[in-house]
Chains A and B, each alone.
Chain A
Amino acid sequence: MNSSLFLIIIPLMGAFIALFAKKANRLMAIVITLFMEIFSIIIYLSGKLPVSVEIGGWQPPYGINFVLTPLSVGFIILINLAAIISLFIIRGEKSYQFYSTYLVLLAASNGIVLTGDIFNFYIFSELTAFGITALIAYPKDRKSTGAAIKYLILASTAAAFLLIGIGIVYKTLGTLNIADIASKISLLDPLTLELIIILMLTGIFVELELFPFNMWVPKAYLGGTASVNVMLHGMLGTAGAYTITRILLTMFTVDGSGLLVNVNIANSVIVIALLTILVSEIAAFNEKKIKKVLAFSSMGQMGLIIFGFMIGNEQAIVGAFYLVVANFVAKTILFVLTGEFIAMSGSGNWEDMKGIGRKHPVAGLAFVIGSLSLMGVPFFAGFWGKLGLIQGAINGSAFMVVGIVIVLITAIIEGIYFLKIAHTLFLEKDSDREYLSKARVHSIVIAAILALAIIAIGVKPGLIESNINSATDEILNSTSNYIDIVFPRR
């Protein structure tokens, strides 16, 4: 399994080669990403999981190791899928800087998921931050530069917090290996532990788009092109969701049971998640720029996923994983289509997108399907996530029930703005407006395939049940499923 290193090495090498590849760089990026996707699927299906890969033969906790579990490889598959899609929907980008940065981003986001070392994790997350900053700023106009700077400032501040947290871990426990930290967490005195958790959470919450750490989100989505949006959401967002499972649900848990060691902090995280849901859905309600609407909705979904993970019982975690998948697919559809629609109508306002659904019924339908899935309508993938979440929460404390009521109330707001936008696509076109360009067929095909996937999962959630169950099992019994894999001799 040492070959799993390819998942990071190849894109990094590609990033270097892209500098000299001239016009072939897009093709090269596609080939590399396709290879990575196929390779990660092969790893997933190889039956050798879970396994810990010691890099350079240095055994953990002294050396760096990669941990390949069904959970992490599953996330790798999603990340690379988003990467492929984002490459396909690029509009006429030929410069080497773009592809080079993209490949670094790809390597880094794979690294975040694969690594079993917290400092390594820090490095990779810094790398993604710089990569995505460059990509957001890429259109080189005022809007995107501003967004990129804002993101950079926030991400750097967060990174400082994360680094201090890691520093304290190293000072107190003398180790940087995640599995090692997880098994020794009970040795720490509570105050230090709380300090570490708070510092590290601050570090990762910025990338998780949680309120009030997420002031960068709407601008970044607005400033970036459609393909950068897909990267932001599909690669960074998915890697972020993985981060929760590793740091919150593996590292700082009671005997590897998926429950955060400190109940107060767990509750604070839930409060933050609920605040995020509330704020983002309300902010999206009256928003005219469609990309901002989707950005707010991304925040909301992230809040929902974290809420699900923090409830901590099996049902809720299953639900949260379904949400990760559903949100990934549905939001990708919406970002892909939004890119096309904006190019067609020449305006970022959804009110100017009248008639597109009539002209491209498949695209319109896919948009509706994506929205319905995000709203959690039955027979669409998102519903099973929502159901699991509510089921889990209602079995929890009264606090969770309040949370679920908030979730359901915001679902109303979400439904209104999403269907309002979806219906606008089917309105009669204003006679004085002309479409600037045609929608590209391959974008619509991508959206349609993803829409079919949503319906398939929605009608038959059993399709991905075994994968999700193994992921859930890994979180709920992380001692046997994660720590023992890294340290088999203990």
Chain B
Amino acid sequence: MVDKMLMMILIPLITAFLTTIILKQHKVVWTLFLAVSGYLSYTLFTMYGAWDLTWSIELGYKIFDSNLVLSLANNPLGWFFAFFASVTTMLIAMFSIAFNDDKHDSKTAPIWLILIFANIGIFFAQDWLMFFGMWEMMSMSSYFMIAHGKEIPAKAAKFYLSLSLVGTSTLLLGIISVARLSQTFDINASIDSLINLFATDYNKAILYIGLFAVTFFIKSAVFPFYMWPSKAYAESPDDFTPFLSTVMSKYGIYGIVLFILPILQNADIPALGQINEPAYILAVLGAITSVLGTILAIFETDMKKLFAYSSVANIGYIVMGLSTLSIIGIQGALFHSINHMVIKSAIFLSLAAVIYRTGEREMHKLGGLAYRMPLTFMVYLLGIISAAGIPPLNGFASKWLIIQALMSQNMLFVVIAMIFASTGAFMYLFRVLASVFLGQLPDKYKHIKEAPLLMAIPMTIIMLLMLAIGVLPGIIMKPVNAVLIGMGYDVQEASWTTVHSAFSNSDLNVTNIFYIFMAGAAIALVFYLFSAKSVKVTQDDNYTAGELPSDWGTTPERFNFSYGFYQPFKEMFNPMMDLISFDRWMAAFGKIVERISNGLSVLYTKSEGAILMLYIGVAILIIGGWII
């Protein structure tokens, strides 16, 4: 039998080369892409439970007097992320076939396939070398993916690339430092040796963990690296944005769960409250991330940027959940990771469908599309209901778990941040609904059609998934608990319907909630059927909320209240945002480097100083060699 593990990384790679050759046949290319992601999903599905599956190769390069080995191994945690990532990818791939037509073809399938190859490698890597290699592959290929051969996206991607490179550099330093401790690149061994280091040299251990954490934070856009998604997501190909948001933002989370969490859990670190200091830092960073992400999302007028910040906020929730170091918190975080995958793919795919039809990203230029694209509207609507964490859909249970876990660890300020962010989410979620799908339909979009069938199918599947996970959380919770058992936690097998919580009597049967909700809907239906007939109101009946359209220099027919929607809110928070803009610091730093660069270039162009410089060099040698 051919090695499953090897095939899983080889097939995307081979297909990548194949698709490069036939890049012009976009239909074939994207169908191949779908086939590969389907194959991966199927293989991963069959691999559940086969935790002894491994693959390794000797490199013939010696470090620490032993031959380096690259190895992949099936494990619950990696499987968990890889499987759901590849299912999401499959759905996006189906969408991509329709999206990449003659006009929209981004010609990025080969790079995306390399990204999927790296994806599998990251999640199943058994040693740091493999992990790092795949991590770099992922960073580099995603740069090309985001830039996708266009000028403006290339600028956005440059920002992403510089952060990525900072990340890979620190990761490499961290890996080598830790590997030097454990004398091997094996991930589990490195966790053990770092736990031991905590007992002897606390500061050094924190430094090493910090090196890893910076990388993971950058990739998942945790504060202070929360700026890049708004640029990168907005400019990347529209069908790739869901992948960025759903799959790629989880790499950092995966890294934290894989490496940092077991150390914080098991190492001998002085307690702070009910957790410990590093975990508290993690919690605070998560809280800041979610609050900032929410506020910035509220400000945005570009819908892809808006949801980029929304993704940032969601990563904040997940990090907060992980920081509790409790079973419920980690369950909630892992559950929310998958929910975020589903929800964000629903939202970004529906937005991609809108952009596919209209070519417009600025929300205030759109409107009223609910009439023209009802299915897309439905998907988006369910997506935001779920994202807001309203019961019958999937977003609720995971947020519930995270808040419970935070409360049970007495992390009150963090809970406040979480609730602030959750509530703030309503503001921006609704905003897109109001500006894009409701309101006035501009004339030029009068003849917009519903998204094509191949886009509709994955969107419908995702819609059903949201409902299914919402009603039967066991779909996700069973693998989550398998992961926790694999990590050495003492948990029961999860039930299909009930979510166990941190406090006594707080177990929640989500299926019952669904029944209650259905009953409510039935009652509403009764009212709808037997009460008075609905009346169609005119636009300025209630829509303008007391403002006269003439005040805004427009007519009642054309009046659209979606630009500067949250102006007062923005004025309230803007000064703070300006202060902590990481973006601006980086730009300033880039400018300085550019100036020095120009100066040095001039130095090399001028002829006069050449010999003088040579003597300066001699002086360095003399001073260094003789005098010091």
Contact = CB atoms under 8 A, between A and B. Distances in A.
Contact of A218 (B604, B621, B624): B604
A202 B310 CA distance: 58
Contacts of A161: 618
A197 B624 CA distance: 12
Given A415-B165, A423-B147, A153 B610 contact: yes
Query: What is the interface residue range for chain B against chain A?
Result: 35 or more
B59 A416 contact: no
A427 B151 contact: yes
B140 A372 contact: yes
Contacts of A287: 597, 601
B177 interface: yes
B610 A150 contact: yes
Given A213-B614, A390-B172, A284 B61 contact: no
Given A202-B614, A218-B605, A460-B59, A408 B169 contact: yes
A419 interface: yes
Given A427-B149, A462-B60, A285 B610 contact: no
B7 interface: no
A462 B59 contact: yes
Nearest to A262: B625
Contacts of B625: 194, 197-198, 262, 264-265, 268
Interface string A373-405: 000011100011011101100110000000011
B137 A378 contact: yes
Contacts of A150: 607, 610
A53 interface: no
A286 interface: yes
A344 interface: no
Contacts of A395: 180
A213 B617 contact: yes
Contacts of B144: 419, 423, 426
A198 B622 contact: yes
B143 to A, nearest CB: 6
A315 interface: yes
B39 interface: no
Contacts of A460: 59-60
A329 to B, nearest CB: 17
Interface string B602-625: 011101011101101110111111
A412 B162 contact: yes
B161 A377 contact: no
Contacts of B154: 420, 423-424, 427
A150 B59 CA distance: 45
A416 B586 CA distance: 14
B610 A271 contact: no
A378 B136 contact: yes
Contacts of A41: none
Interface stretch (A57-65, A131-139, A204-212, A440-448): A204-212
B211 to A, nearest CB: 11
A363 interface: no
A372 B143 CA distance: 12
A178 to B, nearest CB: 21
B601 A384 contact: no
A377 B618 contact: no
A286 B140 contact: no
Nearest to B63: A391
B621 A285 contact: no
B614 A215 contact: yes
B535 interface: no
A230 interface: no
Interface in B143-190: 143-144, 147, 149-151, 154, 157-158, 161-162, 165-166, 169-170, 172-173, 176-177, 180
A285 B594 contact: yes
Contacts of B613: 212-213, 215
B150 A428 contact: yes
Contacts of B133: 378-379, 383
Contacts of B596: 282
Chain B contact surface mostly:
helix
Nearest to B144: A423
B565 interface: no
B593 A413 contact: yes
A419 B140 contact: yes
A123 interface: no
A391 B605 CA distance: 36
Given A271-B620, A416-B165, A420-B158, A212 B614 contact: yes
Nearest to B154: A423
A153 B611 contact: yes
Contacts of A45: none
Contacts of B61: 384, 387, 461-462, 465
Contact of A217 (B137, B170, B604, B617): B604
B537 interface: no
Nearest to A371: B140
Interface string B111-132: 0000000000000000001001
B176 A215 contact: no
B544 interface: no
A405 B594 CA distance: 21
A361 interface: yes
Nearest to A388: B63
B605 A285 contact: no
B600 interface: yes
A481 interface: no
A21 interface: no
B628 interface: yes
B626 interface: yes
Contact of B137 (A146, A212, A285, A379): A379
Contacts of A423: 143-144, 147, 149, 154, 157
Contacts of A361: 20, 23
A429 B510 CA distance: 56
Contact of B601 (A146, A283, A383, A390): A283
Contact of A283 (B20, B59, B604, B628): B604
A264 B180 contact: no
Given A146-B607, A283-B600, A423-B147, 17 more contacts: A150-B607, A202-B617, A215-B610, A264-B624, A271-B624, A279-B600, A285-B597, A379-B133, A391-B63, A394-B176, A394-B177, A405-B173, A423-B149, A424-B154, A427-B150, A461-B60, A462-B61
29 contacts: A150-B610, A161-B618, A198-B621, A211-B617, A212-B613, A218-B601, A219-B604, A219-B605, A265-B624, A279-B600, A292-B604, A315-B63, A361-B20, A361-B23, A379-B137, A387-B61, A390-B172, A394-B176, A394-B180, A408-B169, A408-B170, A408-B173, A412-B165, A416-B162, A419-B161, A423-B147, A423-B149, A424-B154, A460-B59
Across the A-B interface, the 9 shortest Cβ-Cβ residue pairs:
A462-B60, A268-B624, A378-B133, A286-B597, A215-B610, A283-B600, A212-B613, A265-B625, A408-B169
